[in-house]
Amino acid sequence: MIRAYQEIYLSKAQAVLGEAFDYAVNTCRISGDDFIKLFLASSISKRMENGEPMVLAGKSGIEIVREIVEETKGQEIQTDPQEQFGRSREYWIGWAVAYYQWYSDRKFGDVFKVLSFDDLQTMYYTLHEADISKFVDVVDAQIKERFTETNLKRIRSGYGCTQAELAERAGVSLRSIQMYEQRNKNINKASADTLYRIAKVLGCRIEDLIEK
């Protein structure tokens, strides 16, 4: 299965996003939902998704928050971090979400469309002592329930391209496009060349077309 980036960066990325959520919510008093919005609007979320080492392992969570707020709101945060005596609930939220994003290679935006900050807080009480795979299973189930369309259909529709146009431009039969979108044919088993040509037309990555 394709992961978002190399596993050597995973534990650091989890720590960074965990520290960022903790600092933003508990020290800077930014509401959890507002911080999620700022995070998604910033370049930081995209750079983490793309596996940029400087963001995954080159900055602290505090630096990440300050960069996010300055980039999205044009404000500087000078608040010093509080002394910590253990991992907070907010730390776990960032830590767990970072793991899921790496594991699934999904966009942070898709994760947070399904899970609000309140949802994640509720999950903390039942899952924070469980193996992280339990969190993955719960989030996977909710995302699949929410996103009933295939990735291909969702991306094609967002691009504003009809099935016939995509088939012609990509050199793939219309029937194949239809069957991929209806899950009557597994796009994960399509040839690399077919996936490349579809992705090129839609301006996305091959990985974006794969069904998790």
Question: What pLDDT does 182 receive?
Answer: 85
Instruction: Convert 39-72 to b/e letters by CB count within 10 Å (16 or more is b).
Output: bbebebbeebbebbeebbeebebbebbbbbbeeb
pTM, to two decimals = 0.76
* Model confidence pLDDT, tens digit, residues 160-182: 999 999 999 999 999 999 999 98
Decide: 101 and 48 in contact? Cβ < 8 Å.
yes
Amino acid identity of 67?
E
Q: How far apart are CA 88 and CA 83, in angstroms?
A: 12
pLDDT at position 147 is 77
CA 85/CA 20 separation, integer angstroms: 16
What is the rounded average pLDDT for all residues in the chain? 92
Q: Which domains does the chain have, with CATH numbers?
A: 7-146 (no CATH), 151-209 (1.10.260.40)
Look at residues 212, 1, 210 and name the one whose alpha carbon lies nearest to residue 194: 210
Q: Which residues contact 28 (CB under 8 A, 6 or more apart)?
A: 65, 69, 77, 79
Residue 151, CB-side half-sphere exposure with 13 Å CA sphere? 21
Q: What is the pLDDT of residues 100-146, one digit of tens each?
A: 999 988 889 989 999 999 999 999 999 999 999 999 999 988 988 88
